[in-house]
Amino acid sequence: MWATVDGVKEKVGNFRVEPPGLFRGRGEHPKMGKLKSRIRPSDITINIGKDAPVPECPIPGERWKEVKHDNTVTWLAFWNDPINQKEFKYVFLAASSSLKGQSDKEKYEKARKLKDYIDNIRKAYTKDFTSRDLTKQQIAVATYLIDKLALRAGNEKDDDEADTVGCCTLKVANVECVPPHSLKFDFLGKDSIRYENTVDVVEAVYRAIAQFRKGKKQTDNLFDELDTTKLNAHLKGLMPGLTAKVFRTYNASITLDEKLYEETEDGDLAEKVVVYQQANKQVAIICNHQRTISKSHTAQMSRLTEKIEELQVILKDLKIDLDRAKKGKPPLKDAEGKRKRNLTPEAIDKKIASTNQKIEKMELAMKTKEDLKTVALGTSKINYLDPRITVAWCKRHEVPIEKIFNKSLLAKFAWAMDVEPNFRF
């Protein structure tokens, strides 16, 4: 489906309405099992140009809920979520559209600006770790955790929403002090994905968290003097437009940029791609982007092991053939008893080198596959990593961009493709 925006044809994003059915939700959602009612045209508000013809209603006898002509918003249609009536479902332009590309670029430029403020921000919150003003102290510690651990700010949840947690809504039970100065976190984050991490912190933060826990029940808020409104107001005072998400985007992108600069060495294409994947993995760990191990993982590893074993048998035979060729003897017969072609020692050497390369490549693929089996690399690429870092790295090291970005990401990040090879975040 396409829309015309200011005379330009733009692709529309997901425009399909979910069919009626039972609501699953993520994690232990309190509304799991409720019936999702059918969305009818009379539930849907559409947004079109003043002179555009109103799209025909697909169901005879029905009509749209409302037709708007609002050129200050980017949505094309919306309706109330059938499960959570306070929420809305929207139809927007596709990720590859020029408007979305412009929005993405602005997001990453805002995150880049943080590098001009970050040193002063860190000095300020470090100073307030020991503040006598409890609210100021809690804001400082929360900002530190958002910066160091890429935690989301967190919002208060209603009883009919999944009980997920962010920094401001951490309970005493979610954070444990582990001597001498480590904190053990255990809570359900966004999309009910478990965040479980033990991390060393500066001593002042360790003491402050221990103090915040003192005299409270396990179900009490750790930051009892703080909420997202106060935290967001504080962040915006540090830098215009600063939010927890800007911190996440900055720390994700700066980590990728630094890792790629530090660790990329001259090597073959496969080795360079592994360097990128390992840097991407560090970001995914920071952002807690996890995935379950795929059902096919064991089978894939078994197939690779079998192929490596087959190649090792071939390599062993080639070494015997090389030894015989150097002595002027014919090669031994193959496994089926057939006579092998006579080859010069040089030709056999080339085959040995080629087989060794194949084995190394497969062993590298196995190691990478095992290393990344529980890490979701895609989420950070889509949402938190400035694509210009990747494009510039590919240009510097002659890596085809298609090895890193799939077709949909290439379309989404078309705006980043002209970046210079020396770009730094």
Residues forming the active site: 384
**Is residue 28 helix, strand or coil?**
coil
Residue with tokens 């980043």: 416
Q: What is the 3-state secondary structure (H, E, C) of 51-82?
A: CCCCCCCCCCCCCCCEEECCCCCCCCEEEECC
Q: What is the CA radius of gyration of the chain?
A: 28
CB 232 within 8 Å of CB 153: yes
Q: For the chain, percent helix, then strand, then coil, each to nearest 5?
A: 50, 10, 40
Measure the CA–CA gap between 93 and 234, rounded to whole angstroms: 33
**Is residue 11 helix, strand or coil?**
strand
What phi, psi does 150 have (nearest 5°)? 55, 35
For residue 266, what is the DSSP state?
S
Measure the CA–CA gap between 232 and 239, rounded to whole angstroms: 11
Measure the CA dihedral 251/257/259/264, to 10°: 170
Residue of 49, 70, 54 lying closest to 7 (CA atoms): 49
Q: How far is CA 14 from CA 78, 189, 320, in A?
A: 12, 26, 60
Measure the CA–CA gap between 316 and 338, rounded to whole angstroms: 17
Find all residues with CB under 8 Å of 319, minimum gap 6, and list them. Answer: 352
Taking the CA of residue 304 as centre, how many other CA atoms within 13 Å lie in the half-sphere pointing to its CB? 19
